[in-house]
Amino acid sequence: MITHALRLTPGQDIKKEITLYVQKNSIAAGVILSCVGSLTRATLRLADERITKNYEEKFEIVSLTGTLSPDGCHLHMSIANKDGHVFGGHMKDNCLVYSTAEIVIGVCEHLAFTRVHDNDTGFKELQIK
């Protein structure tokens, strides 16, 4: 496995920056190994919901996980608020960095990920080659 690391700075959109990084570095099959940092805004789709919810306050990133491909990234995030309450969901665009986001990506050299529309789920789902 090859690893990449990047640090995002205040105001950057985490999902957009990861997607751009995957494209610029021709990552065919990637995974998020680690992410620590904080947000001022989180945009998540919650479990079994078709709507997206926006949250605006300071959050700690508790976890970020997902698969990365040239066709798109599937990311889930857990965040904690000032009271330590943790919640999460499917990460959408517009999750904005507060102080930093330190991200480590692993690249699976022997695989290629694509995302193809699945009629059963209604989403673009992972295809592994």
Q: In this predicted structure, what is the pLDDT of residue 51?
A: 87
Torsions phi, psi for 24 (to 5 deg): -65, -30
Q: Which of 16, 6, 1, 23 is nearest to 106 (CA)?
A: 1
Q: Domain holding 86: CATH number?
A: 3.30.1330.80
| CB-based burial label for 24 (10 Å; 0-12, 13-18, 19+) | exposed
- Domain span at 51: 2-128
* Residue 88 burial (CB count, 10 A): 19
Q: In this predicted structure, what is the pLDDT of residue 10?
A: 98
Summarize pLDDT for 2-58 with one digit per residue, the tens.
999 999 999 999 999 999 999 999 999 999 999 999 999 999 999 877 889 999 999
Q: What percent of the chain has pLDDT over 90?
A: 94
Residue 91 contacts residue 66 (beta carbons within 8 Å) = yes
What total of structural domains would you count in the chain? 1
